[in-house]
A and B are shown apart, each in its own frame.
Chain A
Amino acid sequence: MSAAQARSLARATALCAVLCAALFALDRWAVRRAPSDAALVATVRERAGTAAARRALFALVLREAESGRTSAALDEALRTLAPADERFIAAYRPDLLRRGGAR
């Protein structure tokens, strides 16, 4: 390998490394920033009736759908639904209201 080729390879490797490192750092930051299931349940309870509560509720539904396993956190959130959020869930996902323990 000539010196020019070696320099070209080094530059290419550095460029790829920088790109991958930036991507990895961004991903780790986003994962750290994600609220826990418990925090989402708390949002459903404390900000009842707001768009934030509804977003938190649907985030829990999504996490359950992703895992394919019944989520205890979603069950807990459903047990503490405010009437306004219950009406919202009844309009979009009435089946959730029939889950064990939900009103």
Chain B
Amino acid sequence: MSALTSKLAVAAPLVVALAVRALLALDASDGPLLGDEATLRRLAELWREHGVYVGEWPPVFPWLLAQLQRLAGEAAGLALMRGLNVAAATAVVAATMALARELGGRRAALAAGWIAALSPAVAIWGGLLFTEAPFVALTTAALALLARRLNSDEGTRHLPWICGLLLGAAALVRAAGLLLIGAVVVGVFVARGRRGLMRGVADAAAIAALALLVLAPWSVRSTTVAGRSKWASGTGPANIVLGWSGAPIPFERAGLADADVHGAPLGSLRRWLERPGPTVPGPEVLAERGGLAAYAPERVREVLREHPGWAVRSRIVHLAELFSPQSFGHRAARLGQLDGLSARPWLRRAFSLGGALLTVATFACAFWALNRGSLAAAHRRILFGFAAAHVAVPLLMFGISRFRAPLEPVVIAVAALLWSSASAGAARDRRGPDTATAGTLAALYGAGLLVTLPVVWTAVRAGW
């Protein structure tokens, strides 16, 4: 293959990714702002007009929007922000290709590029002005650097520092970044530590130190505002401060309750899931907004203690949403945001069903590729950790399925190893998680898919 053809092959998925995301962004540009979009706009307005920034909501996105609106005006600033978001969503594809290249070479990179470019679960973030696109671009780029470091000691001494820098910046975009810093630091310590304790500690410390250094000014600011330690920031209290009046508890239920699911399988399960959640007492202002009181961290613990049944139900529904890759697109359509081309029923149906099938197929490929044993043990362990996190995160986090967004490119990069020329040969290293571990994870996913059937079915019946 000539150099030019080779470059074109790499550029093709990126160009397609850019086009898909730009179309989604154009489609959404004249619709109402959805969920976090409205919150971010309000945060930017408060910052721009009154010099007030509330909560410990990570600052980068609202700050950038405020600056762009100062420069270009409110509407043009918002349009510019959408353009940057499309660029960030395309960068996710480039970073996924870089990660796959480190793991499995050029062919794997191309396969990962096409999957990421066309996957609705990844593309949707280009059309919504949410923080996922820049966050996932930063975290995936950090993981690609990490994979290079694990592959070779030569010329990679500086990479842990850059990795820490990127992860710290990611935590300034989304609060969940702090969790990822912890996971990466532990993973690097274990993987590098096998070649010598000091190697593991040095790399882990470099990542942690740089990430925390980047985070420190913001964390100090949040601590002084809140009056107590605030390294782990949260957006829930900021939502309350803004007077956000989103869905009442259990908010995850809304996606099911509003939909037409007559004749859907597992109807009795759905009815059980839809049983009303607890009424949470709180301050007057919170009580007015129903369950939003449960966003306050101390309330969350009380609710989980007092209503364990509801906690389990809400986690199950959460899982169901997890497997519906277009759940945000679904909501966007119901709220009238996607009124353009994507409002056509056949397109929505294709997006929905195709997205669900592609997600399932990607996972199947990822588990298959991991079990072929062509990866180094360090990579296998870390990737299994990410696959396990993909299952566990929505069960553990008191949030929404968006927490899985940074894990999506990892799964795609692993799935792409099936197309890697390196994986076709004999196993380099059979150590690390075995088939039983993969089987357990696959069984957990199977259970999740069973629960998600009503959601996917609903999506199809409702024209999605």
**Residues of A near any B CB (own CB < 8 A):** 5, 8-9, 11-12, 15-16, 19, 23, 26-27, 29-31, 33-37, 51, 54-55, 58-59, 61-71, 88, 92-93, 95-96, 99-100
Contact = CB atoms under 8 A, between A and B. Distances in A.
Nearest to A12: B201
B81 interface: no
Contacts of A15: 201-202, 205
Interface of B: prevailing SS = helix
B296 A16 contact: no
B228 A31 contact: yes
Contacts of A92: 42, 46, 242-243
A68 B212 contact: no
Contacts of A61: 54, 240-241
B282 to A, nearest CB: 6
Interface of B: 42, 46, 50-56, 196-198, 201-202, 205, 208-209, 212, 216, 219-220, 223-229, 231, 236-238, 240-243, 282-286, 288, 293, 295-299, 302
A23 B229 CA distance: 11
Contacts of B225: 34, 59, 62
Nearest to A62: B241
Nearest to B299: A68
Given A12-B198, A59-B226, A92-B46, 12 more contacts: A8-B197, A12-B202, A19-B212, A34-B226, A55-B52, A63-B227, A65-B286, A68-B286, A68-B293, A68-B302, A70-B284, A71-B283
Nearest to B236: A65
A59 to B, nearest CB: 5
Contacts of A31: 223, 227-229
13 contacts: A11-B198, A16-B205, A31-B223, A31-B227, A33-B224, A55-B53, A59-B225, A63-B226, A64-B285, A65-B237, A66-B298, A69-B283, A92-B242
